[in-house]
Each structure stands twice: as C-alpha cells, then as structure tokens.
Amino acid sequence: MADKVYVAGVDVGSTTAKAVILDSDRNIVGKSLQDVSPRVAEDAETAFVKACQDAGIDREQVALITGTGYGRLKVRFGSLIVTEISCHAKGSQFIYPNTRLTLDIGGQDTKAIRLGPNGEIIDFSMNDKCSAGTGRFLDVCADALGHSVADLGPMSERSKRPTKITSTCTVFAETEVSNQLARGRKPEDIVNGLHHSIAERSISLMRRVGIEDEITFTGGVSRNTGLVRALEEKLGRKINVSPLSQWFGAIGGAIFALEELEKGNDPSFTQLEVSS
C-alpha cells in the first residue's frame, strides 16, 4: 500500500456505537461515539459518518470497514465482520503491546480474554447470562441513588468505608441499595461497595482464564475511576486504562481491516466472518 488509505472499525454495542478511522500508517485520525436506539443499523452508519467527519475525509475514501460488537451484523455497509472478543484483544495490544489479559465490561456483559505475546487468543470467559456487574447494573444502581452513572466514580472516591453489597442480581441489588439508603448508609459508601462487588465478580471471571502480569481494561465501564481503583486494590497492581478504552473494540476492528488490505485481499468482498 504505497498510497495512504483509510480503514474503519465500527463497534456496535448494546448501548453505544463507536467508530474509528485509521490511516495506513496506523494512526487514529478520527473517532465517534453514538447512542444506540432501536434503529441500530442507522446508528451504526451515523457513528461511521461522524468518524469520517472527525477525520476530515469522505466516506468513499475508506477502503475497508469492519463491523464488530453485539450488533455487528447491523453494519451492513461494512465488508468484514469480526467478533468483539477478537477486536478488544487486538485493540488492547495495539495501544498496550504487552497486554496479556483484557477485561472488557460493556453495557450487558463482561469478558476476560487471555492473550499470547503475538496477540493470539489463548482463552476467554464471559458473563452474558446476567447483567450483574455490567454497565446496565451500574445504571440501575445509579438511578436508585438518584444520581447519573457518571457521578459514581467521583462519589466512591470520597468513601471511607464501603458498604458490603451481597446481591449480584441487578434487580436485587437495586432493592439492596434502596434498603441501605433507608438505613442511613452514605451514598458514597454504597457506591464504593458496589464497585468492590463488581471488582470481585470481574476478578473471578479473570481467574477462569488466568491472571496475567499486564491487564488492560476496555469498554465503557472503564471510565469509572472508582471501579478501576477497586480492581487495582483487589489485584494488588495497576491496570491499563486509556482515554480511548471505550473505542478499543473499534480500534481492533480497524486493525483487522488494515491487515486484510496488507494481505492484498479484495476489499469488495462482503460479510467475511473472523471468529478469533
């Protein structure tokens, strides 16, 4: 690829659609984030168009587009489909090359992905049967506290003594939060307790695949500084969190697209499924 070309990754999750534009030098030149409505296909395309605008290019300049995430099949304007597990792994090692374990917490599920030094997926485990410990879990608990989910990280950092939260079910946790408030527990201590509960659940998932030295946290929930702190306290080490962590799936998708072009594959093929 002598001339600079552009590729895109569009990660359609349960709550947001993220898009990233990458150039042939592997520079991130544009990105966007779009709430997901019942019109998922339209939201995916809107995210892509906004990322192109952010990059200052026309959509026709993008040679290959990868769809990934929960709604990857809705990226009908794309030519490549890759699972979110593969894309989050790829994005993690692109930003943090020494990543050996990726923790992805999204709106509806949690994934632990163990990686080899060359980016190969050694093992993975996911919680997709219940929304406990996910973005949805935090949304519901924030509503019970009368706050937005964006408030939870700063709130928990003011806590001196976390309130123990025993419920792992989203519905029961909401009731437990309300009961703890009625007992006079401080909201910041309740939130801190929620974060410690999620951290314990996440670490249990990570142990299934094997705790590694370098861990990267991806997905929208990685923006929650209180949860990051709880994870680090329980793990006894720092974990990688980037301002781009919410876009790691889209970044990984764009890398997959670029690798296909570098192999000389025809970008006009449709719906090629890459599962690992």
Which numeric CATH code is attached to 6-87+247-274?
A: 3.30.420.40
Q: What is the pLDDT of residues 44-76, one digit of tens each?
A: 999 999 999 999 999 999 999 999 998 999 998
Residue with tokens 């892509």: 48
156-171 pLDDT per residue, tens: 989 988 888 776 666 7
d(CA 76, CA 84): 16
Q: In DSSP terms, which residues pair with 127 in a beta bridge?
A: 110
93 CB contacts (<8 Å, ≥6 apart)?
Answer: 99, 115, 119
Report the candidate in 273, 252, 272 with the shortest Cα–Cα distance to residue 111: 252
Quote the strand ranges of the chain, DSSP E.
6-12, 16-23, 28-35, 62-68, 80-82, 101-105, 110-115, 121-127, 215-218, 272-274
Contact 161, 189 (CB under 8 A): yes
Domain boundaries for CATH 3.30.420.40 within the chain: 6-87+247-274, 97-241
Map tokens 């009731």 to a residue. 175
Q: Using CA atoms, how far apart are residues 204 and 121, in angstroms rounded to an integer?
A: 19
**pLDDT one-digit tens code per residue, 182-233:** 888 899 999 998 899 889 989 999 999 999 999 999 998 999 999 999 999 9
Is the pTM for the entire model greater than 0.75?
Answer: yes
106-150 residue pLDDT tens: 887 899 999 998 888 999 998 855 656 677 888 888 888 888 888
pLDDT tens across 1-30, in order? 447 899 999 999 988 999 999 999 999 999
97-241 under CATH 3.30.70.270, yes or no: no
pLDDT tens-digit series, residues 141-152? 888 888 888 889
